[in-house]
Amino acid sequence: MNNAKKRKFFTQNLMLWNAEHNYRKMPWKGEKDPYKIWLSEIILQQTRVEQGLEYYNKFIEKYPKVELLAVADENAVFKLWEGLGYYSRCKNLIASARIIAFNYEGIFPNKYEDILKLKGVGPYTSAAIASFAFNLPYAVVDGNVLRVIARFFGIDAPIDSIEGKKMFTALAQTLMDAALPALYNQAIMDFGATICKPQLPLCSICMLQKLCAAFAKNNVKELPVKQKKLIKRYRYFYYIVVEYNKKIYVRKRISKDIWQNLWEFILVEKKEQIPVEEFIKSDDFTSLFKGKIMKTDTTIFYKQQLTHQTIVGTFIYLKSKQPLINKLYVTINREAISTLAFPRFITNFFEKNTDFKV
């Protein structure tokens, strides 16, 4: 069978599966409001549907229109995003909401190229919004799509290489049902999520099995191919939770690093992990205060795996009779802590430390 016929078989059978067997339900499925589609796509970047759904509903309830999100207090938006991770998405969400509200007078851009110019919007997200909201013929290419195409056509080109990305994007465009782009895009993503799954794909009931190259060669598990291996590093954070005059020292992370725009306690980062007893005798610790401090009350250890790094944290909770020397930190009442957006790494401290109630 030539390539044209194989592509036709792929598209026809995928659409047939969608019509007869696709029962996957999501609240934004069939949605035509570009604002809601954009919001769902940004939330689902690097996030499982099960987790993202709760945040999507919270955002829609609090900010039902883009104009409300555009004028919202930034800290309130970050607080609503708290726990979702990859906080640059939230920063871009706010920036793009303002672009739409003020540059486009609240009307979401309806051209692929204009959508692509929004902060935090790449080719996939732009194609998703363009097709789902405006029925424009742009094929989405996400992890599900790459996996389905790689297996069906037996492509071993790395999906994360420049050549691979160009190849898969071009092929995805030729496979798309140009008359029904929204329906097709949703179908292939759902197919990848429910049938052609990363692990334990349901090949026995797959409507594409007849011409699937990976199934024929028995190498379904080997596709798709990635060339890059993540190099992960360890970082050692010593968080000092200082209470002085019944107030807590905090600061906002402003540097271009993880958790930008979120709040944190006093932080000392070390290149390697050292015992707490040794740390509290070091200059890093003692130089923070003008005089002696009271004995530390609680020490908690916590580890979090991020995409490219592992954060190993030590939380040291203490009460001080002396103010902090470092002026980068401000004091807030305990009650105010609950109004600030902290990274999940720190909210775990609240949950695990029963002595520290906010």
Helix (H) or strand (E) holding 104: none
Indicate the burial class of 209 (C-beta count within 10 angstroms; 0-12, 13-18, 19 or more): middle
279-288 tens-digit pLDDT: 888 888 888 8
pLDDT at residue 297 in the model: 65
The span from the CA of 97 to the CA of 167, in Å, is 33
The span from the CA of 348 to the CA of 354, in Å, is 11
Same domain, 158 and 296: no
Q: Which residue has the tokens 């993540």?
A: 230
Q: CB–CB of 29/186 below 8 Å?
A: yes
Same domain, 195 and 291: no
The span from the CA of 2 to the CA of 355, in Å, is 69
End residue of a domain, out of 184, 199, 222: 222
Same domain, 39 and 148: yes
pLDDT at residue 189 in the model: 95
End residue of a domain, out of 191, 222, 253: 222
pLDDT at residue 357 in the model: 52
Same domain, 187 and 265: no
- Give the orientation angle of helix 3-21 with respect to helix 162-175, to 10 degrees: 70
pLDDT at residue 291 in the model: 64
Query: Which residues lie across from 242 on neighbouring strands?
Result: 318
pLDDT at residue 299 in the model: 76
Residues lower than pLDDT 70 in the chain: 1-2, 230, 291-298, 353-358
Q: Which of 20, 31, 41, 61 is catalytic?
A: 41
Same domain, 209 and 283: no
End residue of a domain, out of 200, 222, 244: 222
CATH number at residue 307: 3.90.79.10
Q: Is 41 known to be catalytic? A: yes
Q: How many CB atoms lie within 10 A of CB 254?
A: 10
The span from the CA of 111 to the CA of 119, in Å, is 15
pLDDT at residue 321 in the model: 80
pLDDT at residue 352 in the model: 74
pLDDT at residue 298 in the model: 66
